[in-house]
Amino acid sequence: MAAPTLSLPLPALAEQFLLRRDMTFLNHGSFGACPRPVFDTFQQWQRTLESQPVEFLGRRLPDLLRQARAQLATFVGALADDLVFVPNVTYALNIVARSIALQPGDEVLGITHEYGAIERTWRYVCLQRGATYVNQPVELPVATYDEIVEQIWRGVTPRTRVILLSHITSPTALVMPVAEICRRARAAGILSVIDGAHAPGQIDLNLAELGACYVHSSIKVMNRFSMSIAKARTCNPAKVSGNRSSSHASRQTRAIASTLRLAKR
Ligand SMILES: Cc1ncc(COP(=O)(O)O)c(C=O)c1O
């Protein structure tokens, strides 16, 4: 069989990165390299900050963040007020996992293609609340989206409260049928939590249409922006609680929860 040919302008794309040219770099997930224009812009902002930190952090930052949120909203098809900046995806998903009022006996359904740190977070939270994390197998190879949906849905029981799903899976690079899963979850009264770590910049997004309870994305392909999104519009507030401890993280959680207009228990 003839070797597949790539139609992508790879040499031109390689120019866009600072990576050494004597190696083939394949990990654009966990430790992805930053494209030159992003890196340059990132450094310009750092220099601006360092040239007058008080002016930048004390006076300009809130407006700059507001502008960034508005531009981001257009990019991902959401309302700016539904977006919150947090340090990274792990942080964002911890906020969500720890803010949902899981009860003993509840189930959280994930699939066997979730990112390790995120799966461990949900397992930990489930253990604390007396809930169960169900790791639903999605067997490879799969031929159709319908097949994936059916495999995932086999894990749903009357006790399922949350479905956790990566938009693009980390270990297997599959684009998941999140719209259909969210639609079914909504109809069944289940919260859908989408880990969108790799989605923005790689696939077109319309978060408003998706209607997921939460979507968390860092723009992995544009690393260094450390940008994450949390979105909540269609979820049932009664199922979500604020964290009651007084740590900085929980103050931030409460601030984010209130931005998300989520009710505290
Ligand atoms: C699917 C997925 N979710 C979450 C993460 C964690 O992202 P972060 O390190 O930005 O918290 C990753 C990291 O690569 C990932 O691939």
Find the 36 Cα to ligand 1 centroid distance in Å.
22
Render pLDDT for 80-107 as a digit per residue (tens, 0 to 9).
888 888 878 888 888 889 989 999 999 9
More confident position, 122 or 227: 122
Distance CA 58, CA 64 (A): 11
Q: Where are the domains of the chain?
A: 66-259
Residue identified by tokens 């544009």 is 222
Find the 89 Cα to ligand 1 centroid distance in Å.
6
DSSP-based three-state secondary structure for 169:
coil
For 96, other C-beta atoms within 10 Å of its C-beta total: 29
Mean pLDDT across the chain: 80
pLDDT band of 160, cuts 50, 70, 90: very high
Given a cut of 80, whether residue 2 has pLDDT beyond it is no
Using CB distances shorter than 6 Å, the residues near ligand 1 are: 29-30, 88-90, 115, 117-118, 166, 170, 195, 197-198, 218
Find the 114 Cα to ligand 1 centroid distance in Å.
10
Q: Which of 1-15, 26-40, 120-134, 196-210 has the highest mean pLDDT?
A: 120-134
Given a cut of 80, whether residue 218 has pLDDT beyond it is no
Residue identified by tokens 């959401």 is 78
Atom of ligand 1 at shortest range from CA of 92:
11
Given a cut of 50, whether residue 31 has pLDDT beyond it is yes
pLDDT at 113: 96
Q: Give me the architecture of the 66-259 domain, per CATH.
A: 3-Layer(aba) Sandwich (3.40)
CA dihedral 251, 235, 139, 130 (to 10 degrees): 60
Burial of 259 (0-12, 13-18, 19+ CB in 10 A): middle
* 28-32, 100-104, 171-175: least confidently modelled range: 28-32
Atom 14 of ligand 1 has which residue's CA nearest to it? 30
Q: In what order do the strands lie in the sheet with 191-195?
A: 132-136, 107-111, 160-166, 191-195, 214-216
DSSP-based three-state secondary structure for 104:
coil
Q: Are 100 and 239 in contact (CB under 8 A)?
A: yes
Find the 59 Cα to ligand 1 centroid distance in Å.
32
Mutate to test the pocket of ligand 1, among 26, 30, 113 (most ligand atoms within 8 A of CB): 30
Residue identified by tokens 């507030």 is 237
| Mean pLDDT score, 21-29 | 82
Find the 197 Cα to ligand 1 centroid distance in Å.
5
Given a cut of 80, whether residue 41 has pLDDT beyond it is yes
Distance CA 137, CA 141 (A): 12
